[in-house]
Amino acid sequence: MKHLNVLTIFLTWLCIISCQHTPSPMNAAPEYAIAIHGGAGAIKKENMTAEMDAAYRAALDTALMLGEQVLRDGGSALDAVCASIEWMEDSPLFNAGRGAVFTYEGRNEHDASIMEGSEQKAGAVGGVHTIHHPIRLARAVMEQSPHVLLTGSGAEQFALEQGIDTIDPGYFYTERRWESLQKFKEKSQKTGWNVQENPDYKYGTVGCVALDKNGNLAAGTSTGGMTGKRWNRIGDSPIIGAGTYADNTTCAVSCTGHGEYFIRYAVAHDLSARMKYQNITLEAAAEQLVLRDLVEKGGEGGLIALDKMGNISCPFNSAGMYRAWARPGEKHIAIYKGE
């Protein structure tokens, strides 16, 4: 009897673990597919009000719908990625664009990147603070410059030359993020916490991966980074191969989590490499990487990934991850484990 109970608990646990991020595998490529995330971290149901829960789900729904609309109308994966991300950048709910977290000095510094899977062109910006839509600037770097990554004032100068919208940095101020910074500073002064050790850390980066009707994949990521970051710290989000990657022969991926780990273990590229060199499925590769190897290394976070067959995987090893995905006739929105 006791054994039976243990078995039941184990099977339930297995079901929760495997149901949490596994849309059914595809036999034939769908017309299009899209997945988005709004960050992973200490996101627990018991700490959320019903209003916040509903607000996040509605926001994910809108962002997903905007990207899906582009794909349904025959637009490119790149356009879909930008449509979803730009909307999330304008939402104060997410740690990107408008809702970006504050640096230790009380500024908002944004990082973003984008990559397409056919020729593997990519663009990224780091540490910009006057760009209305950092993802748009990342795309301009990819399409209008000979470079991949521009940072700080140089990136902002490039934005001006390209006619990319700039905005007064005051636009990025939100009360909620300002309070988080004050709380962080107070605690870090008392306990010596640094950015890495903040146990309350709720990541809020946004990302999108898409597959269009031409079979092209694209991925993008945009973030304000980590509350209390200093010294012009740049995370994984604008680092191609760490926070973002796309290759039509493997997958498109956007990560969220503790950026330093994602950079050190080149997580986004590692997912693609596992598929390519081990010849394993997207789901197997993503689970090995996020639920086993990153956990062993102490790297908290998750990712969304999509392959050319429209398979989607959204594993995370933190308490929760804001996420949503759609294929023709299918849609899923989730925040916590087991959804």
Instruction: Return the active site residues.
Output: 205
Among 117, 134, 228, 235, binds ligand ASP (CB under 6 A): 235
CA atoms within 13 A on the CB side of 18: 9
**Does residue 237 bind ligand ASP (CB under 6 A)?**
yes
Binding status of residue 205 toward ligand ASP by CB under 6 A? yes
Q: How far is the CB of 95 from ligand ASP (least distance, A)?
A: 6
Q: What is the closest distance, in whole angstroms, from the C-beta atom of residue 323 to ligand ASP in the complex?
A: 13
Work out which of 83, 150, 209, 226 binds ligand ASP, going by CB under 6 A: 226
- Any contact of residue 103 with ligand ASP (CB under 6 A)? no
Nearer Cβ to ligand ASP, position 32 or 56? 56
* Among 7-15, 123-131, 253-261, 286-294, the segment contacting ligand ASP (CB under 6 A): 253-261
Q: Report in angstroms the alpha-carbon separations of 330 from 32, 106, 298.
A: 11, 42, 34
In degrees and rounded to multiples of 5, residue 40 shows phi and psi of -125, 165
What are the residues whose beta carbons fall under 8 Å from the beta carbon of 229, sequence distance 6 or more?
101, 103, 104, 109, 195, 235
For residue 310, state whether it binds ligand ASP (rule: CB under 6 A): no
Based on the shown chain and the rule CB under 6 A, indicate whether residue 320 belongs to the binding site for ligand ASP: no
The nearer residue to ligand ASP, 86 or 212, going by C-beta atoms, is 86
Binding span for ligand ASP by CB under 6 A among 1-9, 128-136, 255-263, 277-285 = 255-263
Residues 259-278 that bind ligand ASP (CB under 6 A): 259
Task: Return the number of the residue (68 or 89) whose C-beta is nearest ligand ASP.
Answer: 89
256 binds ligand ASP (CB under 6 A): yes
Q: Which is nearer to ligand ASP, 202 or 274 (CB)?
A: 202
Minimum CB distance to ligand ASP, residue 237 (Å): 5
Of positions 236, 270, 287, 300, contacts ligand ASP by CB under 6 A: 236
Nearer to ligand ASP, 70 or 286 (CB): 286
| Total site size for ligand ASP, rule CB under 6 A | 14
Among 20, 33, 36, 39, binds ligand ASP (CB under 6 A): 39
CB of 232 to ligand ASP, least distance (A): 12
Question: Residue 225, interface with ligand ASP (CB under 6 A)?
Answer: yes
Q: Two tokens at 84? A: 């979803």
Interface positions with ligand ASP (CB under 6 A): 39, 95, 203-205, 223, 225-226, 235-237, 256-257, 259
